[in-house]
A and B are shown apart, each in its own frame.
Chain A
Amino acid sequence: MKAFKACAIAAALAVTSMPAWAGPTVDAVKAKGFVQCGVNLGLYGFSAPDDKGNWSGLDVDACRAVAAALFGDASKVKYTPLSAQQRLPALQSGEIDLLARNTTWTLSRDTANGLNFTVTNYYDGQGFMVPTKLGVKAAKDLNGATVCVLPGTTTEQNLADWFRANKMTYKPVVIEKNEELASAFIAGRCDVYTSDASQLAAIRANEMPNPADYVILPELISKEPLAVAVRHGDDQWLDVVRWSLYAMIAAEEKGVTMANVDQMAASSPDPEIKRLLGVTAGNGKALGLDEAWAKTIIKQVGNYGESFDRNVGQGSKLKIARGQNALYTQGGLMYAPPFK
């Protein structure tokens, strides 16, 4: 009887002593000392290794931001390059801790596939790229075309939907690897290359022998909010990832940059900046992080605008305009909830 009582008490303790938000991922990540981040096999501007094996890109910056928040060191990331098909199982199985691989946020992925999306770090849309010499001016001229498309993405379905909706026909050529697909397109196997507009820009800048020979049509046929995802069932980890990314957006809005973050922390009178940078304590404790977590992110990775410019914007080869990815204060969709 005594033993039974002891067991019951122990069980009750075990249950009640667990905080409501506790999740195993944060502890596991802290214990192993790095964030295992699922990224693209190589998509310039989003996640691609350079000739020394250093990864860079907008998605890579998301991984680095989370590492900076957790460890105070943005370099504590290990990258798992994933194909489109591998990415969901890799996250579901626990092989990676978070997925920052230009993944479109959709209802079925958010539910049936067991993912939780945190923050959209790039608003994209599917577009068409055609050789200039075909003389195509608009997507509606593409009836009967042969279309090069990567498998295993929402791209294939959007393409089918769009042609069906417009009562047009096409022939798909579906090849798994970016490079093979691009070379088939360059060889003229297809009339059209379809993908998210950001990827089209990246492919045109990097794979095409002469970028000026190709034009990206103005129409976008889909909404592609590319978001960073984590697994179902770990709320603390979800919060850490989500607010790490929001911190970058909030920093841009408040004008906090890599260069001025120390000075802002020391002398800014703005209470919102004080809360963001941990001068006023509270946010760090709530997330289970060091109070300087957001300051470290901005210092080591930069704010969202800096990351955008460096990777895909005017500071890069891609030269993609901010467009929908500008702050909400500048007509875009980037908006961080208040840091309080």
Chain B
Amino acid sequence: MLSGRQVKQPATLRALVYSARFRGIVYQVAVVVGVLALGWYLVHNTLANLAARGIATGFGFMGQEAGFDIGEGLIAYSAADTYLRALVVGVLNTLKVAVLGIALASLLGLVVGIARLSRNWLVARLATFYVETVRNVPLLLQLFVWYGIVTALPGPRQALDLGLGVFISNRGLKVPVPEWHDSYWPVLVLLAAAFIGLFVLRRWAINRLYRTGRPFPWLSVGLAGLVVLPWLGLVLVGAPLVWSIPELKGFNFQGGADLSPEFAALLAGLTVYTASFIAEIVRSGILAVPHGQTEAALSLGLSRAKTLRLVVLPQALRVIVPPLTSQYLNLLKNSSLAVAIGYPDLVSVANTAINQTGQAVEGVALTMAVFLVISLALSLLMNWYNAKVALVSR
């Protein structure tokens, strides 16, 4: 007995009751049943109470005309469209700010994280000051500050003219954009080809480096292709490039593309706030790489920049990626603070829809479901990336 060896017992009820495995199963089943029963009760109770008060339920409202306008969006939308389309505009706006925010916050965070470890006293202190100030002030307040800054710019009639048709005012940043013409399709195809070419070139260059030891400046060549090829396409097509230039008409600028103050403030707020956390994650990741690695790389004759890029950062990524995922998810969820400064994200659009239709339960459930799906997808992507950068033992 003392050896802990299992003794075979007859399958009686008594034995079953004393079996740890059986009891474990019973507890688990009980918990699952309990949770399901609670869930069923909550749903049933809500539906019963809604019905008792004569409040309509269901998602039927999604097909009705929304009847309200949205300030900006990635797809065409008017008040005559459905609630469904309005919500899609909101989801896309959320994605737009989240994707750009994640990209910019990562870049800024990386730079600041490295700067905190700099041997330059001033650079390191400035980075520390930034991190400690920004991450200790609530994001909502920071958003109000950013929004205050962008709306304190002069009005459209006194807009700052930056030349080349670029204007800054409290209505946002206006830039000229090429007007679309159907003959431009080949240009887009060439642009896509240049992108794919960039990645093919990179593969080839790395392969060659391993094979022959001779490096190839793939990045500069690739970027040059990215710029030159579309222009070449334009010349080939022979279509003149027509620019839509912002012009002050009536109350505001017409034409061109714009970056709204709400979007700019939200993007700046989310980026600067999240980057302060990412900087600390990057710093901890770099510090987790033994100093011997740096010394070894330097003694091999690698420059400091190359040591960082080729030796330290790849190993640091193993430590960085898991907490980085949490920061990305935080940024996505924090984007719902948009409602405070008037950026029409999903929460803002859903709020309006809820109030017009009175379908609060459905609207909130829908918003939660969308955030959950986006978060899980982001999580999945980051886990895949984490597995990719994880230490592979051979």
Contact = CB atoms under 8 A, between A and B. Distances in A.
Contacts of B262: 173
Given A114-B55, A144-B254, A172 B71 contact: yes
Contact of B340 (A164, A177, A189): A177
B249 A164 contact: no
Contact of A145 (B80, B251, B351): B251
Most buried by B among A112, A144, A152, A189: A189
Contacts of A188: 151, 155, 170
- B50, B249, B339 — which one has the most chain A CB atoms within 10 A of its CB? B339
B55 A112 contact: yes
Contact of A191 (B147, B148, B251): B251
B351 A175 contact: no
Contact of B352 (A142, A151, A170, A187): A151
A175 B342 contact: yes
B344 interface: yes
A160 B68 contact: yes
B69 A170 contact: yes
Given A146-B252, A157-B356, A85 B67 contact: no
B325 interface: no
User: Interface centre among B251, B356, B360, by most A CB within 10 Å?
Assistant: B251
A159 interface: yes
A30 interface: no
Interface in A83-142: 84-85, 88-89, 92, 108-109, 111-114, 134, 142
Contact of B151 (A144, A152, A159, A187): A187
Given A156-B352, A161-B79, A144 B251 contact: yes
A109 B69 contact: no
Contacts of A152: 351-352, 354-356
A180 B341 contact: yes
Interface in B346-382: 348, 351-352, 354-358, 360
A232 interface: yes
Given A85-B354, A146-B251, A184-B342, A161 B54 contact: no
Interface in B327-343: 339-342
A260 interface: no
A72 to B, nearest CB: 30
Contacts of B342: 173-175, 180-181, 184
Contacts of B70: 172
Interface in B143-182: 144, 147-148, 151-152, 155, 170-171
Interface in A176-225: 176-177, 180-181, 183-184, 187-189, 191
B80 A164 contact: yes
A184 B55 CA distance: 36
Contact of B53 (A134, A175, A181, A231): A231
A140 to B, nearest CB: 13
Nearest to B355: A152
Chain A interface secondary structure, helix, strand, loop or mixed?
mixed
B269 interface: no
A305 B360 CA distance: 37
Contacts of A160: 67-69, 79
B104 to A, nearest CB: 23
B344 A88 contact: no
Contacts of B53: 92, 114, 231-233
Contacts of B52: 233
A151 B249 CA distance: 28
B56 interface: yes
B261 interface: yes
B238 interface: no
A151 B67 contact: no
A108 B354 contact: no
A143 interface: yes
Contacts of A142: 251
Contacts of A146: 171, 251-252
Output the residue of A88, A114, A233 with the most chain B CB within 10 A.
A114
Nearest to A152: B355
B71 A174 contact: yes
Nearest to B169: A188
A171 interface: yes
B376 to A, nearest CB: 27
B250 interface: yes
A134 B67 CA distance: 28
Contacts of B55: 92, 112-114
Given A112-B55, A114-B55, A145-B251, A157 B358 contact: no
B251 A151 contact: no
A187 B360 CA distance: 33
Interface string A50-88: 000000000000000000000000000000000011001
A268 interface: no
Given A189-B170, A232-B53, A175 B352 contact: no
A153 interface: yes
Nearest to A113: B358
A84 B355 contact: yes
A187 B340 contact: no
A232 B251 CA distance: 46
Residue of A134, A143, A157, A191 most packed against chain B (CB within 10 A):
A157
A159 B358 contact: no
B250 A144 contact: yes
Contact of B348 (A92, A151, A232): A151
Count chain A CB atoms within 10 A of each CB in B152, B254, B342, B354 and give the residue with the most.
B342
Given A156-B69, A163-B69, A171-B71, 19 more contacts: A85-B351, A92-B55, A111-B54, A112-B56, A114-B53, A144-B249, A144-B251, A144-B254, A157-B67, A160-B69, A161-B79, A164-B79, A174-B71, A174-B344, A174-B352, A176-B340, A180-B340, A189-B170, A233-B53
19 contacts: A88-B355, A112-B55, A113-B55, A143-B250, A144-B252, A151-B355, A157-B67, A157-B68, A159-B68, A159-B69, A160-B68, A164-B80, A170-B69, A172-B69, A174-B344, A175-B341, A181-B342, A187-B148, A231-B53
